[in-house]
């Protein structure tokens, strides 16, 4: 499929991952240009919104590249129309969605996907009015993530979670969480449960540090998969 004259918007998160990704974004831009695409790099959601609207109005926007981590992909999913193709180019800490899709952050692979127009429609979830692609949690895990975001000022790696985890271990008080679902009874032989201490909702079967709590999760089945831990504590 010819790419001549078609435009690609690279949404580059400058804070993703443990080190600067500026050179990798530049390499991707050059490679796409060599393939005949027009490339535009944006470093803020405001820029992405403005440029994507302009290019869509011109009828020439082929896709948006999410050059960042899972949070970047979520932010773009909430910003852009659902019909617009979104390619993840993993530059974050965990890159769970990219790993599930078999995308490795290789410039040539990204160009091949765009040029071949390979697409996969996947489900999304919604929490507090925001769409998510990978998973959400309630309880201890969510508190660690909250503290991490509150402390974050720049690049992070897995070790950056050490202080939030330690703080949550010292101070978090487990609560009995109660849930309701409109899923049919046949969706789970274990539902309903009265309460639990932790809740995970998975769209894809991936979690940080290569853990896999919910291997049956399928982002193309129209369902979200729930994983509950009834006991308090992390052991």
Helix axes 70-79, 45-57, angle to 10 degrees: 50
Six token digits for residue 58: 């011109």
- Per residue of the chain (235 residues), give pLDDT as tens: 545 569 999 999 988 765 668 899 999 999 999 999 999 999 999 999 999 999 999 999 999 999 999 999 999 999 999 999 999 999 988 899 999 999 999 999 999 999 999 999 999 999 999 999 999 999 999 999 899 888 888 777 788 888 998 999 899 998 888 877 776 654 555 555 667 888 899 999 999 877 888 999 999 999 999 888 887 776 5
At 184 the pLDDT is 65
CA 109 – CA 202 distance, rounded (Å):
27
Q: DSSP per residue over 174-185, as a string?
A: ---B-----S-G
Residue 176: Cβ within 10 Å count: 10
Domains, the chain, in order of start with CATH, read 7-120 (3.40.50.10330), 127-229 (no CATH)
Among residues 145, 92, 110, 93, the alpha carbon closest in space to that of 101 is found at: 110
Cβ pair 203, 122 in contact under 8 A: yes
Rounded CA gap, 127 and 132, in Å? 7
Cis amide prior to 192 (ω within 30 degrees): yes
What pTM did the predictor assign?
A: 0.87
- DSSP class of residue 200 equals E
pLDDT score, position 117? 95
Using alpha carbons, select from 187, 190, 198 the residue that is nearest to residue 231: 198
| Residues linked to residue 148 through DSSP beta bridges, in sequence order | none
Q: State the pLDDT at residue 156.
A: 77
Instruction: Tell me what pLDDT residue 229 has.
Output: 85
- The whole-number pLDDT of residue 17 equals 63
């Amino acid at each position: 499929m010819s790419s001549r004259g078609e435009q690609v918007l690279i949404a580059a998160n400058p804070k993703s991952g443990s080190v600067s990704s500026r050179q990798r974004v530049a390499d991707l831009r050059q490679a796409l240009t060599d393939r005949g695409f027009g490339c535009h790099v944006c470093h803020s959601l405001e820029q992405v919104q403005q440029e994507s609207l302009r290019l869509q109005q011109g009828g020439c926007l082929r896709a948006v590249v999410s050059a960042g981590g899972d949070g970047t992909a979520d932010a773009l999913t909430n910003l852009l129309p659902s019909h617009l193709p979104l390619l993840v180019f993993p530059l974050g800490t965990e890159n769970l969605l990219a790993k599930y899709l078999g995308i490795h952050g290789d410039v040539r692979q990204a160009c091949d996907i765009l040029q071949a127009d390979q697409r996969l429609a996947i489900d999304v979830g919604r929490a507090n009015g925001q769409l998510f692609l990978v998973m959400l949690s309630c309880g201890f895990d969510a508190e660690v993530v909250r503290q991490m975001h509150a402390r974050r000022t720049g690049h992070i790696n897995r070790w950056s979670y050490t202080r939030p985890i330690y703080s949550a271990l010292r101070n978090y008080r487990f609560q009995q969480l109660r849930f309701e679902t409109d899923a049919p009874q046949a969706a789970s032989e274990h539902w309903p449960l009265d309460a639990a201490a932790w809740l995970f909702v998975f769209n894809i079967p991936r979690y940080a540090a290569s853990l896999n709590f919910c291997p049956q999760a399928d982002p193309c089945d129209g369902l979200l998969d729930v994983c509950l831990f009834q006991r308090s504590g992390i052991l």
